[in-house]
Amino acid sequence: MNTSFNKRRVAICAMLTATVIVGCATQAGRGVTDGPLTIRTQGSFFVGGRDLRSETLSAVPAVFSPVGTIAVDQMYVRYQVPDKVTGKPLVFVHGCCLTGKSWESTPDGRMGWDEFFLRKGFPTYVVDQASRGRSAADPSTIVSVKNGKTAPDQLPPVFSSGREGAWEIFRFGPQYPSVFPGMQFPLEAQSEFWKQMTMDWSRALPAPNPTVPALSELAKKIGGAVLVVHSQSGMYPFQAVGLTREGIAGIVAIEPAACPAASGDMTPYANLPILIMWGDFTEAAPVWAARVKSCGDFVKAANAAGGKAESVMLSEVGLRGNSHMLMLDRTSLDVAAWLSDWLGRHIAR
- Residues 284 and 259: their CA atoms lie apart, in Å, by 20
Q: Which region among 34-42, 260-268, 275-283, 332-340 touches its own copies (by CB under 8 A)?
A: 34-42
Binders of its own copies in range 111-140 (CB under 8 A): 111-112, 115, 128, 133-134, 136-139
CB of 326 to its own copies, least distance (A): 19
Q: Contact 192/21 with Cβ under 8 angstroms?
A: no
- 308-313: strand order across its sheet: 68-82, 124-128, 90-93, 225-230, 248-254, 273-278, 308-313
Q: Which is nearer to its own copies, 104 or 280 (CB)?
A: 104
Phi-psi region at 118: left, alpha or beta (left = phi > 0; alpha = psi -120 to 50)? alpha
- Residues 10 and 26: their CA atoms lie apart, in Å, by 9
- Residues 344 and 175: their CA atoms lie apart, in Å, by 37
CB of 235 to its own copies, least distance (A): 15
The site that binds its own copies (CB under 8 A) totals a number of residues, namely 96
Q: Which is nearer to its own copies, 29 or 306 (CB)?
A: 29
3-state secondary structure (DSSP) of residue 305: coil
- Residues 200 and 210: their CA atoms lie apart, in Å, by 14
Closest to 188 in 3D by CA, of 108, 103, 101, 111: 108
**Residues in contact with its own copies, shown as a per-residue x/- string from 238 to 267 under the rule CB under 8 A:** ------------------------------
Q: Which region among 53-61, 178-186, 262-270, 301-309 touches its own copies (by CB under 8 A)?
A: 53-61
Among 7, 10, 19, 39, indicate the residue that binds its own copies (CB under 8 A): 39
- Which DSSP string corresponds to 7-20? HHHHHHHHH---SS
Q: Which region among 17-25, 314-322, 331-339, 341-349 touches its own copies (by CB under 8 A)?
A: 17-25
Binders of its own copies in range 291-330 (CB under 8 A): none
CB of 40 to its own copies, least distance (A): 6
Q: Which region among 51-59, 248-256, 323-331, 341-349 touches its own copies (by CB under 8 A)?
A: 51-59
Position 104, amino acid: E
CA distances for 240 relative to 74, 186, 219, angstroms: 15, 33, 9
Binders of its own copies in range 156-185 (CB under 8 A): 156-166
Q: Which region among 100-108, 293-301, 311-319, 322-330 touches its own copies (by CB under 8 A)?
A: 100-108
